């Protein structure tokens, strides 16, 4: 697409990157069919091509309005369009740049600003979030149904094995996951322990930075990234083999640390090394598949019908497809068909809180798709999707949902 960037942006790093991405788009429209918001709303401006056009207009110096902001806000950042695009348009990077610029030009209403500030400050603070969650659980019976069904049940983490192996890997504990589902990383530690790998958590690490990143606050996001790098660095230097992430949404963020801090004189090299060490937990376990099959061969066979929800961050962001499904099959599970598996469940970070109507429509469609094969269990790979889908399943059935690594842990 021919693009003539305005003087105010064309010589900046963001302008050059956005210009390069825009020029790759040939306006073919293949991406429209796989965009969840276009599917729901049928408006070209709520499609990838339409949003690209809106961002192009802004970058070429045309006036930006709240309408531009609305269509960019409605985007889930699911990156389904990237998977479909035959020209390799990096829509995810473009929309990050576009949103940040629109935020500066259009601003937010007072109420919207307060909501975003609360989300940005409350969610990444595990202690604060834990207190809120405990209060919510205690008051669940008297809360309105819509709110009550968003509060996940308390999960027992069980025993975490003490580090004992020569091989060790770091794990990202994250922010909301330790409060909502501490069992996921403990189950991961048990599985890796059986595979001869000790999982270590660095005490000072926390939120991966995705929440402020998606709320258009790069400074705050970079502060979280640097805190994690500082916390992990002694372990990296001591030879930690990998940085394991069990929430694919956080994984996409850690995978991009090197890119996000590429212009930071102090952190660029460290960030690049941290991203190179990043592994989704599925990649770590799949690399040990020979050992895993011996262990699974010794385990009691149980055949469970599972519907696997592959999060957008896993299939479109990290481009990891079929790996978890293969591991679940190896563990003796039968995977049920999930129609439209490429579509987002509507969780998408803070999207379910900021765009509740669209999010609920996507959730309702996803629950129907997941339940269509009559599974005994739904499994997924990201805490945000897990909590969001659980709220939909609670409303429609009693099908449980778990992180897939818990299924492997249980088998072992
Ligand atoms: S599929 Fe790719 S090239 Fe075609 S319109 Fe969409 S983003 Fe542009
Ligand atoms: S990221 Fe998802 S919601 Fe946004 S334009 Fe692409 S496909 Fe549509």
Mean pLDDT of 344-371: 96
Contact status, residue 94 vs residue 47, Cβ threshold 8 Å: no
State the pLDDT at residue 47. Answer: 98
Centre of ligand 2 from the C-alpha of residue 6, in Å = 25
35 lines ligand 1 (CB under 6 A): no
78 lines ligand 2 (CB under 6 A): yes
Distance between CA atoms of residues 177 and 154, nearest Å: 12
Label the pairing between strands 198-201 and 168-171.
parallel
DSSP, collapsed to helix, strand or coil, labels residue 47 as coil
pLDDT at 280 over 70: yes
Q: Considering only CA atoms, which residue is closest to atom 4 of ligand 1?
A: 28
Q: What does the angle CA 141 – CA 386 – CA 116 come to, to the nearest 5 degrees?
A: 75
Contact status, residue 331 vs residue 296, Cβ threshold 8 Å: yes
Mean pLDDT of 250-270: 97
35 lines ligand 2 (CB under 6 A): yes
Percentage of the chain modeled with pLDDT above 70: 99
Contact status, residue 406 vs residue 333, Cβ threshold 8 Å: no
Mean pLDDT of 350-372: 96
The two structure tokens encoding residue 91: 């829509």
Could you identify the atom of ligand 2 that is nearest to the CA of residue 38?
8
Q: Considering only CA atoms, which residue is closest to atom 6 of ligand 1?
A: 31
Residue 376 is classified by DSSP as S
State the pLDDT at residue 121. Answer: 83
Centre of ligand 1 from the C-alpha of residue 21, in Å = 11
DSSP, collapsed to helix, strand or coil, labels residue 260 as helix
CA 37 → CA 49, 64, 100, 160, 339, distances in Å?
Answer: 12, 21, 20, 41, 17
* Residue carrying the six token digits 């969650």: 133
Distance between CA atoms of residues 91 and 64, nearest Å: 19
Q: Mutual orientation of helices 268-277 and 218-237 as an angle, nearest 10°? A: 70
Q: What is the largest CA-CA distance in the chain?
A: 67
pLDDT at 366 over 70: yes
The two structure tokens encoding residue 322: 């079929």
Distance between CA atoms of residues 254 and 318, nearest Å: 11
State the pLDDT at residue 394. Answer: 73
Average pLDDT, the chain: 93
pLDDT tens digits for 326-341?
A: 999 999 999 999 999 9
State the pLDDT at residue 1. Answer: 80
pLDDT at 118 over 70: yes
pLDDT at 305 over 70: yes
DSSP, collapsed to helix, strand or coil, labels residue 58 as helix
> In terms of Cα–Cα distance, which of 186, 205, 319 is closest to 246?
186
pLDDT tens digits for 181-195?
A: 999 999 999 999 999
311 lines ligand 2 (CB under 6 A): no
State the pLDDT at residue 146. Answer: 66
87 lines ligand 1 (CB under 6 A): yes
State the pLDDT at residue 155. Answer: 77
Q: Please name the helix (run of DSSP H) or strand (run of DSSP E) that holds residue 225, with its range, or none.
A: helix 218-237
Sheet holding 305-308, edge to edge: 334-335, 305-308, 377-380, 401-403
DSSP, collapsed to helix, strand or coil, labels residue 9 as helix
State the pLDDT at residue 194. Answer: 97
Q: How many alpha carbons fall within 13 Å on the CB side of residue 334?
A: 10
Distance between CA atoms of residues 299 and 411, nearest Å: 6
pLDDT tens digits for 140-187?
A: 777 777 667 777 777 788 899 999 999 999 999 988 888 889 999 999
Q: Which ligand is nearest to the CA of 72?
A: 2
Exposed, middle or buried, 111 (CB in 10 Å: 0-12/13-18/19+)? exposed
Torsion of CA 399, 404, 410, 412, to 10 degrees: 150
State the pLDDT at residue 349. Answer: 92
Contact status, residue 187 vs residue 407, Cβ threshold 8 Å: no
pTM for this prediction: 0.94
The pLDDT-based confidence of 138 (bands split at 50, 70, 90) is: confident
Distance between CA atoms of residues 370 and 341, nearest Å: 9
């Amino acid at each position: 697409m021919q693009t003539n960037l305005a003087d105010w942006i064309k010589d900046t790093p963001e302008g050059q990157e956005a210009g390069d991405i825009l020029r790759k788009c040939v306006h073919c429209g293949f991406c429209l069919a796989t965009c969840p918001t276009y599917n729901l709303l049928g408006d070209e401006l709520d499609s990838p091509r339409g949003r690209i056009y809106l961002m192009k207009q802004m970058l070429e110096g045309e006036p930006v309005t709240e309408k531009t902001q609305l269509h960019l806000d409605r985007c889930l950042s699911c990156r389904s369009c990237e998977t479909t695009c035959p020209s390799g348009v990096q829509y995810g990077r473009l929309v990050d740049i576009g949103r940040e610029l629109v935020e500066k030009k259009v601003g937010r209403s007072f109420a919207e600003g307060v909501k975003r500030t609360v989300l940005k400050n409350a969610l990444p603070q595990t202690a604060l979030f834990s207190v809120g969650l405990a209060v919510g659980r205690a008051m669940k019976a008297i809360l309105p149904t819509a709110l009550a069904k968003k509060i996940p049940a308390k999960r027992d983490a069980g025993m975490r094995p003490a580090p004992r192996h020569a091989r060790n890997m770091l794990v990202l504990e994250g922010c909301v996951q330790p409060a909502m589902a501490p069992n996921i990383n403990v189950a991961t530690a048990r599985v890796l322990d059986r595979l001869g790998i000790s999982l270590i958590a660095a005490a000072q690490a926390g939120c991966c930075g995705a929440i402020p990143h998606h709320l258009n606050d790069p400074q705050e996001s970079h502060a979280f990234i640097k805190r994690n790098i500082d916390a992990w660095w002694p372990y990296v230097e001591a030879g930690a083999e990998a940085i394991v992430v069990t929430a694919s949404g956080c994984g996409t963020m850690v995978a991009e640390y090197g890119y996000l801090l590429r212009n930071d004189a102090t952190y660029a090299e460290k960030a690049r090394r941290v991203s190179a060490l990043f592994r989704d937990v599925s990649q770590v376990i799949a690399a040990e598949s020979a050992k895993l099959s011996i262990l699974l061969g010794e385990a009691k066979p149980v055949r469970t019908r599972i519907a696997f929800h592959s999060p957008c961050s896993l299939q479109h962001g990290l481009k990891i497809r079929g790996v978890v499904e293969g591991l679940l099959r190896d563990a003796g599970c039968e995977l049920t068909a999930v129609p439209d598996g490429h579509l987002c469940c509507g969780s998408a970070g803070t999207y379910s809180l900021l765009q509740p109507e669209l999010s609920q429509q996507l959730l309702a469609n996803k629950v129907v798709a997941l339940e269509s094969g009559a599974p005994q269990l739904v499994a997924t790979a990201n805490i945000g999707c897990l909590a969001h889908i659980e709220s939909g399943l609670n409303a429609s059935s009693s099908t449980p949902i778990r992180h897939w690594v818990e299924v492997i842990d249980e088998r072992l």
